[in-house]
Amino acid sequence: MSTTNSLFSSDLNVVNVGLAMFEDDIAAQGAEVTTLDWTPPAGGKPEVLAALDALGDLEVAQKIEAANAEAVERIANSQPMLVGFGRALDVVPGMTPTTILHSGPPITWDRMNGPMQGAVTGALVFEGLAKDLDEAAALAASGEITFSPCHEHDAVGSMAGVTSASMYMHIVRNETHGNYAYTNLSEQMAKILRMGANDGSVVERLVWMRDVLGPMLKEAMEIGGPIDLRLMLAQALHMGDECHNRNNAGTLLLQQALAPSLLQTSFTTEQKKQVFDFIASSDYFSGPTWMATAKAALDAAHGIENSTVVTTMARNGVEFGIRVSGLAGNQWFTGPAGTVVGPMFAGYKPEDSGRDIGDSAITETYGFGGFTMSAAPAIVALVGGTVQEAMAYTREMGEITTSQNPNVTIPALDFQGIPTGIDVRKVLDTGILPIINTAIAHKDAGIGMIGAGVVNPPVEAFEKAAAALAEVIG
């Protein structure tokens, strides 16, 4: 009983679970005590507990630990590089002239919410497949258009994520593992296609992006060569971004890297000024870039046998879906998309909000965005809170992740690495859901962004994933 006798010779230091009343008595006697903020694991649901227990069996747990260690290693050692820009039809696997990619798990036209339908019809007009929005809606419903999730094409899409054949995409190559990731260009502003807006001004901007911005970026990359995005992401976090809702620093860094090459392209000075003005018009310019960065790293960690690490969190405005490394391919586990809570633009009320939408939660899946609120004290108002609370968010996300990414760190937390590798088991064990920073689109088609805030995934998605994992691993 050497351990017990070492207990007798040290100061009592208690973890108190369940009854807070015991804490006062213990503290009054001079012992250290901390009382857990305890809730029944897995929400107290017997079938989920059974799955967790199956995954907690000693031998199984060892296999999972090893697999998860490999998953977070692959995420952390991934080196995503921006290598170019190109039209979706030319670069995205499986893209066709009549394919529309969208955010989140699979969804049919009739089930899409207002903003996504708005974006789809706008995209069909932009592509010249319909002459107006009404004709576009009829076409979308006709069955002639192929709808497919961005995530199933090595891509991600912000908000509605609607991506059509002639839109220009970031091309990101994971130098470490060789895989690619793609995402659309930022439309800047609030009244934009991805937020569900689709009038003439929106389509006009898309045309300019296709004809000027996209080709100029493509040419610039050919001149300047690859850009190390993980390094830039780490720098942006050190400069006060969390790289999901705050991109002030990241956009400056990206522009700084692109500017010399942009100047050397064959476009006119007027067109170059348009591009610089466009980049300056919104701090969000680099937002999609970080999404593709995260996607490239997480895809490299998908499909590791026995791993319970989440590799995708994505929403289509109706459902929130996750994918898990140990459940290879396109197996989605879903629950209803939540309501985003946060400050709204003047004149809008919470009931105007569309439900949670977009692939941008790939940033939290990697470990920044909401997970790294502690790096971006300037936007703690988003969560209605204090800087202290922002620190607590990151610490709390540490409770549901596998480890920290040493390559991307947080100055205010003594350069702790960002929380990495969301573990399905830990989410259910703790009852802590991942926190996601995001924008709010109006619930109706045609309007656009009306606010920003935070949201959690539905716990059902994790419960279903745990059951599937228990069947495969347990």
Partner 1 sequence: MSTTAVVKKNTYFDSVSLMAISTKANGLDGVAQAFVAMGTEMNKGVLGNLGLLTPELEAAGTGDLMIVAETTDGTDTDAVLAAIEELLVRKAPAGGESAVTYRTIAAAAQDRPDANLAVIAVNGTFAGREARKALENGLNVMLFSDNVPVGEEVALKQLAHDKGLLMMGPDCGTAIINNVGLCFANAVRPGSVGIVAASGTGSQEVSVRVHALGAGISQLIGTGGRDLSEEVGGIMMIDGIRALAADPATSVIVLISKPPAAAVEKKVLAEIATAGKPVVVWFVGGSEEAVVAAGGHFATGSEDAAVQAVRLGTELEAVAGELDTARIDAVVAKLGAEQRYVRGLFCGGTLTDEAMYALLEDTSDVWSNIQKNPDRKLSADSPSTGHTFLDFGDDEFTNGRPHPMIDPSLRLARLVEEARDPEVAVIVMDFILGFGAHEDPVGVTLPAIAEARQIAADAGRHLEIVGYVLGTDRDAPVLADQIAALEAAGVTVTASSTETGQYARAIARKVTNA
Binding site for partner 1 (CB under 8 A): 1-5, 7-8, 10-19, 21-22, 25-26, 29-32, 34-41, 44, 49, 53, 342-347, 349, 378-379, 381-382, 384, 386, 388, 392, 395-396, 398-399, 426, 429-432, 451-452
* Minimum CB distance to partner 1 smaller for 390 or for 445: 390
Smallest distance, partner 1 to C-beta of residue 8, A: 5
Q: Minimum distance between the CB of residue 353 and partner 1, rounded to whole angstroms?
A: 12
Report the nearest approach of partner 1 to the CB of residue 92 (Å).
33
Helix axes 58-77, 287-299, angle to 10 degrees: 140
Rounded Cα gap, residues 1 and 13, in angstroms? 19
**CB of residue 67 vs partner 1: minimum separation in angstroms?**
19
Distances in whole angstroms, Cα of residue 201 to Cα of each of 128, 189, 286: 16, 12, 22
Give the C-alpha separation, 282 to 222, whole Å. Answer: 25
Helix (H, G, I), strand (E, B) or coil at 63: helix
Q: Residue 162 or 383: which CB sits closer to partner 1?
A: 383
What is the smallest separation between the CB atom of 54 and partner 1, expressed in angstroms?
Answer: 13
Q: Alpha-carbon dihedral of residues 429, 103, 193, 250, nearest 10 degrees?
A: 60
- Nearer Cβ to partner 1, position 52 or 216? 52
* Positions of E strands within 89-242: 99-102, 146-149, 155-156, 168-174, 180-184, 227-228
**Tokens, residue 57:** 């069996």
Nearer to partner 1, 313 or 382 (CB): 382
Residue 149 or 342: the one with the smaller Cβ distance to partner 1 is 342
**CB 274 to partner 1: min, Å:** 20
Are residues 333 and 321 in contact, defined by beta-carbon separation less than 8 angstroms?
yes
DSSP state of 344: B
Interatomic CA distance for residues 177 and 301, integer angstroms: 10
Which residue in the block uniquely carries the two structure tokens 């995420």? Answer: 75
Nearer to partner 1, 257 or 378 (CB): 378
Q: Please give the distance of CA 272 from its chain centroid, rounded to a whole number.
A: 31
CA 181 to CA 365: how far, in whole Å? Answer: 15
Q: What are phi and psi of 245, to 5 degrees?
A: -100, -20
The nearest distance, CB 66 to partner 1, in angstroms, is: 17
Return phi, psi of residue 436, to 5°: -125, 125
Select 241 or 299, whichever has its Cβ closest to partner 1.
241
Place of tokens 């995260």: 294
Nearer to partner 1, 332 or 393 (CB): 393
User: Residue 23 Cβ, how far from partner 1 at the closest point, in Å?
Assistant: 9
- 311 Cα distance to chain centroid: 10
Q: Residue 419 in contact with residue 409, Cβ under 8 Å?
A: no
Please say which residue, 138 or 280, places its beta carbon nearer to partner 1. 280
Closer Cβ to partner 1, 27 or 89, answer by number: 27
CB of 64 to partner 1, least distance (A): 14
In terms of C-beta density within 10 A (0-12 exposed, 13-18 middle, 19 or more buried), how is residue 164 classed?
buried
| Residue 408: φ, ψ to 5° | -130, 110
Rounded to a whole number of angstroms, the minimum distance from the CB of residue 303 to partner 1 is 27
Compute CA 78 distance to the chain's CA centroid, rounded to the nearest angstrom.
Answer: 17
User: Closer to partner 1 at the Cβ: 282 or 407?
Assistant: 282
DSSP-assigned beta bridge partners for residue 80:
174
Q: Could you tell me the smallest distance in angstroms from the CB atom of residue 367 to partner 1? A: 17
What is the full DSSP assignment across 350-402? GGGBPPPEESTTHHHHHT-GGGGGGG-GGGGGGGT--HHHHHHHHHHHHTTEE
